[in-house]
A and B are shown apart, each in its own frame.
Chain A
């Protein structure tokens, strides 16, 4: 069975600095997708960035980028120029190409210090 592990329960970053959130996953499949979602306190989950496993190029969305290491089964999220609004719980998620369900990690709570 596929699993997603986020080993950092909490992280903190200074405003305008860069922070990297870690995610590892376990799968024997070759066709899959990876996602990072942001869940602000008491607000809905927002899709931050996505990566197709067959793409070698790391995905980038404005200040958010990923470091996708397929052989190591690692999918970290880098947030550049951190802003107060980035404070949230961040979830890494995996989806097999054969199913439609997302498998989530336990999340990393990011605090942004002014």
Chain B
């Protein structure tokens, strides 16, 4: 069990550029989640996958954001035309399902939009 892995750990980009983050969940976990955390706040839910199906999306996930999990394993989160307000820590979590279905988090990708 290597835990949830996220890449890159840090990303600096210029406003208007596209960025993509990757998340590798714990290997036997079929559920995967993306959250966004800004300074001084708790994480906010963005989206959730069960296997390859995206089952829940927050209204925080504007049309510039897209997430995929094509083979039910790793997931990518893409932000198009980045804005300074997108600067945040993007956290990925995974879970096994069942009850209480505890979520385990990765170290996050810190995005800075200049």
Contacts and interface: CB of A to CB of B under 8 A. Distances in A.
Interface of A: 4, 33, 35, 37, 43-47, 50, 52, 91, 93, 95, 99-107
Interface stretch (B15-23, B43-51, B71-79, B80-88): B43-51
Q: Which of A46, A103, A104, A106 has the most chain B CB atoms inside 10 A of its CB?
A: A104
Chain B, interface residues (CB within 8 Å), range? 20 to 34
Given A33-B100, A100-B31, A100-B56, A107 B105 contact: no
Contact of A106 (B31, B41, B101): B41
Interface of B: 3-4, 31, 33, 35, 40-45, 48, 55-56, 58, 91, 93, 95, 99-108
A91 B42 contact: yes
Given A101-B48, A102-B45, A44 B103 contact: no
Contact of B45 (A37, A50, A101, A107): A101
A44 B105 contact: yes
B43 A102 contact: yes
Given A52-B100, A100-B48, A44 B56 contact: no
Nearest to A31: B99
A104 B42 contact: yes
